[in-house]
Structure 1
Amino acid sequence: MDLFSRSWTALRTAVAGLGDEDFAQPSGCAGWLVRDLVCHLVIDAQDILITLATPADAEPTRDAVTYWETAGEPPAGDDPLDALTVRLAAAYEDPRLLLFHLDDVGSAAGRAAALADVDLRVATRGQVLTAGDYLGAYVLEWTLHHLDLVAHLPGVPGPPAEGLARTREILERIAGTPLPSSIPDRDALLVATGRRAPTSTERAALGGPAARFPLHVG
């Protein structure tokens, strides 16, 4: 729960510090500008509020790791929901309005998470998780999207080290293999999720397990 809060706070703080011109820069998500990514974060925050208000009686079917599914190809940005996000982001016109909405809904999601009973069972995406596992899964979401946010904005602070480490652990468990300790967490995440190609040194360090990457999680 604490790591969820630290990761979410760090991401929202980074967004709050953006200049208007930064919203028109590309993000690390294919086909999305920074403004589109920020709009997606608003939708994520809404999903958290909805899920935490959707209790379930059934036994959990997923945990913080198995919540995530992998795809063979990275998102191309042309999925109908992705396209809707782009249209919604453009409708804000003034980046300050988008910032206001993220601060408003994002703060509420943060408060709801802090107040949640970690053992509460909640339903989302046709699955049941404890609230603790659901929020734990979102550490990966916040961390990877924080990397997406700063992909072309080198002056903006990146995600906290503990979020990088936890996201690495989740990806390693999804893949069923560790990433080489010689590759720092940030670089390991970028390579493991296909956000950039590995260098020759990184590929050599990965060895046989390289065939299991990149993982496109969602």
Structure 2
Amino acid sequence: MDLFSVSWAALRAVVAALPDKDFERPSGCGGWLVRDLVCHLIIDAQDVLITLVTPADAEPTVDAVAYWQIEDQPPTGQDPLDALTVRLAAAYGEPRLLRFHLDDVGGAAGRAAALADPVALVSTRGEVLTAGEYLTAYVLEWTLHHLDLLAHLPDVPEPPAEGLARSRGMLERIAGVAFPASFTDKDALLVGTGRREPTGAETAELGGAATRLPVYLG
């Protein structure tokens, strides 16, 4: 749960420091500008708040790894919900309003996570899991979207090292592969989720595992 807070705080700090012009640059999410991704982060923060106050009285059905669904295709931004995010982002009009809303709702989500009982059962997406497992799943979400933010912004600080390492471990369990030690955590996440193509040397190192990659998470 501490890692959730560290990863989330780092991501929000990056958004807070972005110049206005960077909101119009492409992000690492297919079909989305940086402003669209920031709008998605606001929706994510709302989901965290909703989930943490949605108790469940059944046994857990998933953990932080099984929480993730594997999609058949990478996101393109054309899905109805993705397209709605683009329209919502445009409706803000000014980057400062996106920053303000993320700081407001995102700060509340961070405080709620810090106060949550890690063993409390919560419900989301038709599944039941502990609050601790749910927040751990979001370490992967924050880390991947942090990488998406800096995809075309080389001067943006990278995600915390501990978040990258934890996310790599979760992705390996989701995909059922072990990335070679020569892969950095960042490269494992980018290649493993289809955010960039592996080089020929990387494909050779992956061997048979290359056939199980990438995995598109939803």
TM score, norm. by length of structure 1: 0.99
Counterpart of 1:82?
82
Match of 1:108 in 2: 108
Aligned to 1:73: 73
Q: Which aligned runs of 4 or more in structure 1 are off by greater than 6 angstroms?
A: none
Amino acid at match of 1:145: H
Which whole-Å deviations, capped at 9, do the CAs of 1:106-138 have from their partners, x for residues lacking one?
000000000000000000000001000000000
Deviation at 1:42, TM superposition (A): 0.1
Q: Which amino acid aligns with 1:133?
A: E
Letter in 2 for 1:85: T
CA shift for structure 1 position 76: 1.3
Alignment partners' CA distance in 2, 1:145 and 1:177: 22
- What is the Cα deviation at residue 71 of structure 1? 1.2
Structure 1 Cα separation of the partners of residues 73 and 52 of structure 2: 30
Do residues 137 (structure 1) and 137 (structure 2) align? yes
CA distance in structure 2 between the partners assigned to 1:104 and 1:36 by the alignment: 17
The residue aligned with 1:95 is 95
Give CA deviations for 1:32-61 in whole Å, capped at 9, x if unaligned: 000000000000000000000100000000
Q: For the residues of structure 1 that align with 2:175 and 2:94, how far apart are their CA atoms?
A: 41
Task: Indicate the SS of the match to 1:207.
Answer: helix
- Once the two structures are superposed, the pairs formed by residues 146-161 of structure 1 within 5 Å of their partners are 146-161=146-161
Counterparts of 2:138 and 2:95 in 1: how far apart (Å)? 25
Q: Residue in 2 aligned with 1:25?
A: 25
Structure 1: 5+ residue stretches without partners: none
Q: How does 1:1-218 map to 2 (within 5 A)?
A: 1-218=1-218
Q: Secondary structure at the match of 1:164?
A: helix
Whichever residue aligns with residue 48 of structure 1, its letter is V
Q: Distance in 2 between matches of 1:146 and 1:125?
A: 23
- Tell me how far 1:158 sits from its aligned partner: 1.2
Distance in 2 (CA, whole Å) between partners of 1:188 and 1:128 is 29
Q: What is the root-mean-square deviation in Å for CA atoms of aligned residues?
A: 0.5
CA distances 1:10-48 after superposition (whole Å, capped 9, x unpaired): 000011110000000000000000000000000000000
Residue 187 of structure 1 deviates from its aligned partner by: 0.8
1:176 & 1:187 partners in 2: Cα distance? 17
Query: What is the aligned-residue identity percentage?
Result: 73
Shift of 1:194: 0.3
Name stretches of at least 5 consecutive residues in structure 2 with no aligned partner: none
Counterpart secondary structure, 1:75: coil
**Distance between the aligned counterparts of 2:177 and 2:29, measured in 1?**
25
Letter in 1 for 2:80: P
Give the TM-score of the pair, scaled to structure 2.
0.99
What is the count of residue pairs matched by the alignment? 218
